[in-house]
Structure 1
Amino acid sequence: MDKKINIYKDVEALSEGFTSLLKEELSKREIVNVSLSGGSTPKALFNYWVANCKESIDWNRIAFFWGDERCVRPTDEMSNFGMTKSLLFDKIPTIDKKKIHRIHGENESKEEVQWYTSIMDKYLPKENGLPVFDIMMLGMGDDGHTVSIFPHQIDLWNAEADCVTAQHPETGMERISLTGRLVNNSRNIVFLVTGKNKAEKVKQIIEEREKFADIYPAAKVNPVNGKLFWMLDEGAASLL
């Protein structure tokens, strides 16, 4: 596996590092297809882009997708799309609205899973017979989950589908999630992880991935042909 571990002094430096990767991909291809994640680190990244990159990134050449979404309306504060819209899309007018492909969390989940599968099939190039993202942005929960595949449903990672319905282990809230075969088919997979509370899982997954691959979904991230980047702040990297 082609794995790179980058440690940054703070979330702003991490945002700069991710932006460099995005610009590199933009230099290679006409349209860059990015799968976004929710969470606090992407929030900081979106704020960084609005403050520093309105002009320096060719926004109309980026197509936006999501790795997962909560089954809520886009106006709900839990919505990954809603968060991205308010922090990023509403503030950068050069983003092409036609290239924003959101998961409709408000729709009936089984129908939406099929619809989003068809959207990825329509708009993404194919490699290994599957849709391929140029950049797959991932977060990691304290419990080792990634996208919306949690340890109690780890078998969903290996589902034959590109997209599945999952449940949060405590609240039971439904979520729509991409599966492992799409995550691992991406050209660049980037874990954005910040905070000391994640340090133990980061250490376990980076240093002993195979040992934890049946316990934490994040340990199942293993690109087929692409590169894997860990972009960590000093807290998340403190046990490495």
Structure 2
Amino acid sequence: MSLPPGERIAARPAAEGQRPDVVVEPDADRLARDVAAALVARLAAAQAVHGTARVVLTGGGIGTAVLERVADLAREPARERVDWAAVDVWWGDDRFVPAGNEERNELGARRALLDAVAVPAERVHAMPPSDAGFAEPEDAAAWYADQLAAAAPEGAMLPRFDVLLLGMGPEGHVASIFPGTPAVTDDRTVVAVRDCPKPPPTRISLGFPALNAAEEVWLLVSGAAKAPAVAQALTGGATPGELPAAGVHGRRATRWLIDVDAASELDREG
């Protein structure tokens, strides 16, 4: 059953009884545009409170489309403004391939947004590529964990993340945490992923402890192929091992921002 845009969903409670907020948009383009506007507002609000904003980016088609729409908004002078010189950018995962490889989430984000809005180089915290001097992905993951800890308050392992963006695969993976893989149970903030079931096989990913440390987690999902996993994550009681998307939640809010096709197997709130 396809839900109309704006319909509320009877989502199961997330961690500590938190009920996710589910927003359904009519199509992928409207989803990208509305998420972009919401992201600009959220970053501006964070800067109003803290002076800076911190965002964790995702890759994939919808994630890149959101960044392109954010870049469009930055060119419109009447829009709410973000001081991009005071935004720290992190990543949820990236592919352990050479820096210029088209598979890199970092490369896509730079093209879509970061270069256009001139985020300072020292505020762009990319996960290392395979040609950055790390012999093994485990070494690169440990380095990234150290970078996170260095940006954190004294005694903490992670900085404040105002909003963390995630895509989701048809089997329910988020970042590079796939069902039934060692990353599901790894308690480190950053993990190396080998033999990934989706190419490229070697990656670096934030682990659940880091993903779930964000103030807000936004899951961006588009397309009918992902509808079964959306329904299972929101209403089916799946475990994180079976469906990693079911194991992510923000400290203050968890938002599922999806299109009608991705919502097609959800029930209306009765």
Q: Is the shorter-chain TM-score for this pair beyond 0.5, marking a shared fold?
A: yes
The residue type paired with residue 69 of structure 2 is Y
Alpha-carbon spacing, 1:114–1:52, altered in 2? closer, same or farther (3 Å): same
The residue type paired with residue 162 of structure 2 is D
Greater share of strand residues, 1 or 2?
1
2:179 to 148, 151, 156: 151
Cα offset, 1:171, TM superposition: 4.4
Partner of 1:11: 28
Structure 1 residues 53-108: Cα deviation after superposition (integer angstroms, max 9, x where no partner): 23533222211000111011221010000111122222223x22221000012233
Partner of 2:73: 52
Query: For structure 2, which runs of at least 5 residues remain unmatched after alignment?
Result: 1-17
CA contact under 8 A between 2:193 and 2:205: conserved in structure 1?
yes
For this pair of structures, how many residues does the alignment match?
A: 236
Aligned 1:141-220 pairs, distance under 5 A: 141-153=169-181, 155-167=182-194, 168-169=196-197, 171=199, 173-208=201-236, 210-220=237-247
Aligned 1:22-171 pairs, distance under 5 A: 22-27=40-45, 28-54=49-75, 55=77, 56-93=81-118, 95-106=119-130, 107-108=134-135, 109-125=137-153, 130-153=158-181, 155-167=182-194, 168-169=196-197, 171=199
Query: For structure 1, which runs of at least 5 residues remain unmatched after alignment?
Result: none
2:263 to 219, 225, 237: 237
Cα offset, 1:47, TM superposition: 1.6
Matches of 1:148 and 1:74, distance apart in 2 = 18
CA contact under 8 A between 2:88 and 2:125: conserved in structure 1?
yes
Q: Per the alignment, in what secondary structure is the counterpart of residue 156 of structure 1? A: helix
The residue type paired with residue 74 of structure 1 is A
Pairwise CA RMSD:
2.1
Matches of 1:26 and 1:145, distance apart in 2 = 30
Alpha-carbon spacing, 1:124–1:31, altered in 2? closer, same or farther (3 Å): farther
CA contact under 8 A between 1:193 and 1:236: conserved in structure 2?
yes
Whose radius of gyration is greater, 1 or 2? 2
- Give the TM-score of the pair, scaled to structure 1: 0.89
Q: Per the alignment, in what secondary structure is the counterpart of residue 106 of structure 2? A: helix
- Give the TM-score of the pair, scaled to structure 2: 0.80
Cα offset, 1:232, TM superposition: 0.4
Matches of 2:158 and 2:88, distance apart in 1 = 17
Cα offset, 1:127, TM superposition: 9.5
Cα offset, 1:3, TM superposition: 1.3
Cα offset, 1:231, TM superposition: 0.4
The residue type paired with residue 119 of structure 1 is Q
Cα offset, 1:221, TM superposition: 1.2
Structure 1 residues 144-203: Cα deviation after superposition (integer angstroms, max 9, x where no partner): 1111011131x4233221111113125472100110011111100000111111111101
